[in-house]
Structure 1
Amino acid sequence: MSHTAHIPSHRKPRRSSSKLALRAGVAGGVLSTIAVAAATGSANAEPVTETIEMPTLTSDLSAAVAQSAEATQQVALDLELQAREDAAAAKAAKTAKVAKAEADRKAEAKKKAEAKKRAEADAKDRASRSSERTTLSASASTSNATGSAATVVAFLKAQLGDAYVMGGTGPNSWDCSGLVQAAFKTVGVDLPRVSGDQSVAGTQVGTSNLQVGDILYWGGAGSAYHVGVYIGDGKYLDAANPSKGVVIQDLSGYPASGAVRVL
């Protein structure tokens, strides 16, 4: 006998054919009953008078929905892009405004600094001219000028520092003969307008015997090209040229050709 004969088998026992037949018959009867009931119910049921149709999602509708979604997304992207551009433009405008304000501030500061510098230079120049005129006035007081000659010299010294301008007759710019004519007019002496005529307007005197108030000339008598006035101590005052203006000069540096005396 086999050594496993005493172990019970795990296989399900086979059903007999009679039991299977019985179960089949019962099942068939139940199905027949259900079929008869269904037929009877159909015969007694009310007829259906309304049909409900469910919507069908066609391919055209699907495409329209997809297109609408795409358009909505594009609008959103456009709005976002526009918002970014607006923000960038606003930032650029603000930066430009700040830069302009800073540039204007620097320009104004530079303008004020230049104006201050010019004012200081003008003040310095005026102070220098005032000091020079004071010194010259003190020097004149020690000279031998008296009466009309002193008046002429005082007028001439008051014009020191004025500009030389060809044809100028004052009050702030002169040429040589215009200055001499204006100076002698203060004492009632009417001189001709040009240098050549002024060089023969009075008594000819030698340059070695000059007096304060004598008119000095350069060039020939009657054809002189420049004139000035002797103020004493070997010096004369004239409207020299555009680079010097009205100044006092030493005769030793630029000796005159002759002189005339009108006072």
Structure 2
Amino acid sequence: MSHTAHIPSHRKPRRSASKLALRAGVTGGVLSTLAVAGASGAANAAEPVTQTIELPTLTSDLASQVAESADATQQAAANYQLQAERDEAFAKAADQAKKDQLAAEKKAEAKKKAEAAAKAKAEREAAEAAASRSSERSTLSTASATAEAPAPASGSVGAVIGFLKAQLGDAYVMGGTGPNSWDCSGLTQAAFRQAGVDLPRTSQEQSTFGTPVSLSNIQVGDLLYWGGAGSAYHVGVYIGNGQYLDAANPSKGVVIQDLSGYPASGAVRVL
């Protein structure tokens, strides 16, 4: 016995028989297991290994993803079809716009040609009318030179009548005051201005200017009017021998006419 054996803290604890038996059993079990595993591994090494792999079944999430993919594919196809329809509609619209533009250009060209033709016609007719008036003026001038009307050769009345005859064949234009186109009151106003008389501008005013005279006592140079005094619509100048000179209308121009064909309503003596 050790000289310190009597001290409790220096004694080695004794292992009990039960613990030793348990440890022996565990060790034996482990060795047995290793032996069995080794035998099994040798056996497995001698035989080929076969294994069956089962495909996983579709879960609800996977099925949902497949459905969404199909919907997306279908939507994409619909979008492509819609785009194709839009492209086709756009192409048709562009083609129609081109056709409409060509039609409008043809219409404009036709209108331009028609306007040019109308203008040429109007110019031709105007030239023919001017030539006709010139011829008529020559004829009337010749006729007035041989007329029996006792138009004075001098004096205020002579100046008025001379001016009027010089305008024979001029055109009638509403509002015209000369020198080559006149309306009725514009011509008489210009004629009496040659005698120093300033007539009003309109036929209504001229019909009340001067001294009223009866149609049975009219003299050369008297102003004739048609319509009521103060509301006359036409005027002319008496030149004798039952005739008067006036700017009649657009178809006649400045002419000499017979009172029997178009009797006046009244007369005033200005000179």
Give the 5 Å matches for 1:104-183: 104-144=105-145, 148=159, 149-155=161-167, 157-158=169-170, 160-163=171-174, 168=175, 170-171=177-178, 176-183=184-191
Alpha-carbon distance change, 40 to 189 in structure 1, aligned in 2, over 3 angstroms: closer
Alpha-carbon distance change, 95 to 152 in structure 1, aligned in 2, over 3 angstroms: same
- Opposite residue 199 of structure 2, the aligned amino acid is P
Number of residue-to-residue matches in the alignment: 210
Q: d(CA) in 2 for partners of 1:250 and 1:174?
A: 20
Aligned residue for 2:211, secondary structure, equals coil
Aligned residue for 2:92, secondary structure, equals helix
Alpha-carbon distance change, 199 to 125 in structure 1, aligned in 2, over 3 angstroms: farther
Percentage of matched positions with identical amino acids? 40
State the Cα distance separating 1:196 from its structure 2 match.
2.9
Paired residues of 1:143 and 1:232 also in contact (CA < 8 A): no
Paired residues of 1:179 and 1:239 also in contact (CA < 8 A): yes
Segments of 5+ residues of structure 1 without an aligned counterpart are 1-37, 46-52
Alpha-carbon distance change, 155 to 56 in structure 1, aligned in 2, over 3 angstroms: same
Segments of 5+ residues of structure 2 without an aligned counterpart are 1-38, 47-52, 146-150
State the partner residue of 1:83.
84
- Opposite residue 254 of structure 1, the aligned amino acid is Y
Alpha-carbon distance change, 71 to 209 in structure 1, aligned in 2, over 3 angstroms: closer
- Does residue 58 (structure 1) correspond to residue 65 (structure 2)? The answer is no
- Opposite residue 86 of structure 2, the aligned amino acid is E
- Opposite residue 75 of structure 1, the aligned amino acid is A
After TM superposition, the score normalised by the length of structure 2 is: 0.57
State the partner residue of 1:253.
261
- Opposite residue 224 of structure 2, the aligned amino acid is Y
Aligned residue for 2:196, secondary structure, equals coil
Q: d(CA) in 2 for partners of 1:71 and 1:228?
A: 97
Q: d(CA) in 2 for partners of 1:43 and 1:244?
A: 135
Q: d(CA) in 1 for partners of 2:251 and 2:217?
A: 26
After TM superposition, the score normalised by the length of structure 1 is: 0.59
Paired residues of 1:215 and 1:230 also in contact (CA < 8 A): yes
Paired residues of 2:223 and 2:268 also in contact (CA < 8 A): yes
Alpha-carbon distance change, 150 to 246 in structure 1, aligned in 2, over 3 angstroms: same
Q: d(CA) in 2 for partners of 1:161 and 1:175?
A: 6
Paired residues of 2:185 and 2:235 also in contact (CA < 8 A): yes
Alpha-carbon distance change, 44 to 113 in structure 1, aligned in 2, over 3 angstroms: closer
Cα deviation 1:189-217 (Å, max 9, x = unaligned): 3232132344539xx79778865xx2341
Alpha-carbon distance change, 143 to 111 in structure 1, aligned in 2, over 3 angstroms: same
Which one of 195, 207, 210 corresponds to residue 196 of structure 1? Answer: 207
RMSD of equivalent CA atoms = 4.4
